[in-house]
Structure 1
Amino acid sequence: MTIKQTATIIVDGGYSPATVVLTQGVPAELTFNRINDAGCLDQVHSQALNFNENLPLNTPRTVTIDTSHTGEFDFSCGMDMFHGKVVINS
């Protein structure tokens, strides 16, 4: 059995939770679920974590996170107005 970290982030006028804490070296997935049709939150991206996803309303989207490096990695909406972060600890 493969151990995997998962987190669901609700997108509703921002990100909840805004910070996700993961463990280094354990495969991880973030699922974004947009439940509000307001503005630029229809997209989420992170250059540091190498993802860029469109977020259709009420349709969860899952991204795989590389946890090989520790640190704090930001993600944001398409217009960089709303922010969250992934913290990877050893």
Structure 2
Amino acid sequence: MDTTEIMVTIGGLVLAVLFVWYFFFSERQTAAAVSSSGGVQEVAVTVKGGYSPAVIEVERGKPVQLSFYRDEENSCSEELLMPDFSVRRDLPAFKTTLVELLPQQAGTFEFTCGMGMLRGRLVVK
């Protein structure tokens, strides 16, 4: 290998490490649900290249309403999957989609896009 090939290989490895860190290990924005006067925990989530906030904290045994606003047309974000709650929703571009659930047990539950590239967590306390 000559110097150019070594530099390209090192650059590719650095980019791969940064990609893995960003999608799997970077710090995510966290939001605690706000309870409405009716006792429903509400959180607004923006979908644009990821979920913001990506970590949502809620209380166990209280109804939760998540408002997903998809602020893009990227095909990866057109579907929401929450397998632990049997939720599968289409997210139309530039519209808000409501997801209502009642978490019965404490724990951390993942949600993703249909392709598994965008990831978020619902933390039930």
The CA deviation string for residues 16-70 of structure 1, in whole angstroms up to 9 with x for no partner, is 0000000011111111110011131011111112210000011100111221111
TM-score, L = length of structure 2: 0.68
Rounded to whole Å, the distance in 2 between the matches of 1:31 and 1:65 is 12
RMSD of Structure 2 on Structure 1 (CA): 1.0
Identify, as 1 or 2, the structure richer in strand.
1
Matches within 5 A, 1:19-30: 19-30=55-66
**TM-score, scaled to structure 1:** 0.93
| Regions of 4+ moved over 2 Å | none
1:2 to partner: Cα distance: 3.0
Q: Which residue does the alignment assign to 2:105?
A: 69
- Identity of aligned pairs, percent? 29
Q: Deviation at 1:6?
A: 0.6
CA distance in 2, matches of 1:16, 1:67: 20
Larger helix proportion of the pair: 2
In 1: Cα distance, 2:109 partner to 2:85 partner = 7
Aligned pair 1:49/2:67, yes or no?
A: no
Greater relative contact order structure (CA < 8 Å, 6+ sep): 1
In structure 1, the residue corresponding to 2:77 is in which secondary structure?
helix
Is 2:46 aligned against 1:10?
Answer: yes
Distance (whole Å) between structure 2 residues aligned to residue 52 and residue 43 of structure 1: 7
| Larger Cα-atom Rg | 2
Residue correspondences, number: 89
**One-letter identity of the residue aligned with 1:8:** A
